[in-house]
Chains A and B, each alone.
Chain A
Amino acid sequence: MNDTGRESATISSFQLGAVVASSILGIGVLTLPRLAALAVDSGAPLLTFAGMTAGMLFLAGLAWLMSRHPGSSLFRFSEQLIGKAPARVFNGLLILYFLVVTGITARQFGEAVVQVLLQKTPIEIVVSFLILLTGLTCRRDLVKFVYVHQFYLPLILLPGIIVVAVSMQNAETVNLLPILGNHPLRWGDELVQIAAASQIAFVIALLGPILRRPRGAVRATAIGATLATLLYTAIIIATIAVFGAEEVKLLTYPTLETARSASLGSGQRLDALFLIVWVISIFTSVYSTYYFCAYGTRELLGLRDQRLTATFGMPFVFAAAFLPLNIFELYRWSELLNLYGAILFAGYPSLLLLLSLIRRGGKRTKEAEGHA
Chain B
Amino acid sequence: MAGSWKQKYKHARKPSSVPVLDDVLEQYGTMKGSPRLDEMLRIVKEVYAETDDLSIRQLRLFGEFDAAAIFLDTMVDKQVINEQLLRPLMAEVSPARLEKLRNRRLIDIVLSEELHEVNAYAESNVVPMLQALSSGRTLLCIAGSHDAIVLQTRKVEKRAIEQPQTEQVIRGPREGYIEVLDTNLSLLRNRLQTTDLCIKLAPLGQRGKTRTAVCYLKSIADPTIVDNVLKRLMHIKTDAILDAGYIEQFIEDQPFSPFPQIQNTERPDKTAAALLEGRVAILTEGSPFALIVPTFFTQFYQTLDDYTERFLIGSLIRMVRLVALVSSLIFPALYVSLISFNPELIPTDFAVAIAGGRAGVPFPSFVEVLIIEGSMEVLREATIRLPQQIGGALSIVGVLVIGQAAVSAGFASPIMIVIVALTTIGSFATPAYNSATALRMLRFPLIILGGTFGLFGVMIGVLFIANHMLALESFGAPYLSPFVPGSWQGMKDMFMRGPIWWMRKRPSHLYPQDSDRLPPDSARIPMERTLHYGGKEGADRHE
Residues of A within 8 A of B (CB): 1-3, 6-8, 11-12, 14-15, 113, 117-118, 121, 125-126, 129-130, 133, 136-137, 140, 144, 146-148, 150-152, 264, 266-270, 272-273, 276-277, 279-280, 283
Contact = CB atoms under 8 A, between A and B. Distances in A.
B82 interface: no
Of A14, A147, A148, A264, most buried by chain B (CB within 10 Å of CB) is: A147
Interface in B427-477: 453-460, 463-464, 466-467, 470-471, 473, 476-477
A279 B485 contact: no
B512 to A, nearest CB: 12
B103 interface: no
A150 B486 contact: yes
Nearest to A149: B484
B466 A121 contact: no
A6 B476 contact: yes
Interface stretch (B211-219, B242-250, B304-312, B346-354): B346-354
Interface stretch (B274-282, B318-326, B337-345, B533-541): B337-345
B471 A144 contact: yes
B517 interface: no
Contacts of A117: 341-342, 454-456
A319 to B, nearest CB: 21
B473 A7 contact: no
Contacts of A266: 347-349
A133 B467 contact: yes
Nearest to A144: B471
17 contacts: A3-B224, A6-B224, A117-B456, A129-B457, A129-B460, A147-B480, A150-B485, A151-B484, A264-B347, A269-B345, A272-B344, A272-B455, A276-B455, A279-B456, A279-B459, A280-B459, A280-B463
A304 B473 CA distance: 21
Given A147-B478, A150-B486, 19 more contacts: A1-B228, A2-B476, A3-B476, A6-B511, A12-B486, A14-B486, A15-B485, A117-B341, A125-B453, A147-B470, A147-B471, A148-B467, A151-B480, A266-B347, A266-B348, A267-B348, A273-B345, A276-B459, A279-B463
Contact of B460 (A144, A146, A269, A279): A279
Contact of A8 (B454, B471, B509): B509
Nearest 5 A-B pairs (CB), nearest first? A266-B347, A3-B476, A151-B484, A137-B467, A279-B459
Given A117-B342, A280-B463, A267 B347 contact: yes
Contacts of A130: 460
Interface size class of B (residues with CB under 8 A): 35 or more
B232 interface: yes
B331 interface: no
Nearest to A113: B456
Contacts of B493: none
Contacts of A267: 347-348
A8 B225 CA distance: 13
Contacts, number: 104
Contacts of A125: 453
Contacts of B346: 268
Given A148-B467, A151-B466, A2 B485 contact: no
B460 A140 contact: no
A126 B456 contact: yes
A283 to B, nearest CB: 6
Contacts of A152: 466
B188 to A, nearest CB: 27
Nearest to A139: B471
B9 interface: no
A268 B478 contact: no
Contacts of B456: 113, 117-118, 126, 129, 276, 279
B483 interface: yes
A14 B485 CA distance: 10
B66 interface: no
B453 A118 contact: yes
A272 B455 CA distance: 8
A6 to B, nearest CB: 7
Contacts of A8: 476-478, 485, 509
B253 interface: yes
Query: A3, A12, A269 — which one has the most chain B CB atoms within 10 A of its CB?
Result: A3
Interface string B502-531: 000000010100000000000000000000
Nearest to B477: A8
A133 B463 contact: yes
Given A147-B478, A279-B463, A268 B455 contact: no
A126 to B, nearest CB: 7
Nearest to B480: A151
Contacts of A140: 471
A261 B456 CA distance: 21
B344 A268 contact: yes
Nearest to A278: B459
A12 B473 CA distance: 19
A270 B345 contact: yes
A139 to B, nearest CB: 9
Nearest to B342: A272
Contact of B470 (A15, A151, A272, A279): A151
A14 B466 CA distance: 21
A144 B470 contact: yes
A137 to B, nearest CB: 5
Most buried by B among A6, A125, A270, A279: A279
Most buried by A among B232, B253, B345, B470: B470
